[in-house]
Amino acid sequence: MDKSTLKQIRLLAEAGDLASFADTQPQHLRPLFVACGKIEKGELLKTLEAGDKLVSALDSGNTNDARLLEDSFTQLHKTYKSLPAAATDVILSQAPRQARTVLTVAKELDTESVKAIAKDIPAIVSTLSLSQF
């Protein structure tokens, strides 16, 4: 999904009008937008914000903030798990091939496992950085 679509989703989520947006999308994407339209507005905005923070951290190379990663991954996971199968199928179909296994496993993880993994990311990144020398 491109950045302009995500920006439009954020604006429509703020206005509470994702249902009409879903109707304008290609048929194969509609289940995701319909499901997002059913998420409570505040919860959806928290999820979009968590995604923005995570992307910003990854883009800037700031993967050492365990709290930010934990909070972001926990919120994203909470919303992802709440989606119906048709919506997660859309996400899987749009995800890069390498991410599909992670997304499939993530649907089965409990919140505490996601928090534990997120807390370990800074150490993993640090170890990988050291091993490149």
For the chain, the structural domain boundaries read 3-131
More confident residue, 132 or 97: 97
Give mean pLDDT, residues 46-57. 88
pLDDT at 3: 67
Q: At what angle do helices 41-60 and 3-15 cross, to 10 degrees?
A: 150
Q: What average pLDDT does the chain have?
A: 84
Q: What is the pLDDT of residues 56-101, one digit of tens each?
A: 887 887 777 778 888 999 999 999 999 999 999 999 998 889 889 9
The answer to whether residue 131 scores a pLDDT higher than 70 is: no
H or E element, residue 74? helix 66-82
- Report which DSSP code applies to 51: H
Sequence-distant contacts of 14-21: CB under 8 A, at least 24 apart: 14/41, 14/45, 16/41, 18/44
pLDDT at 82: 94
pLDDT at 29: 87
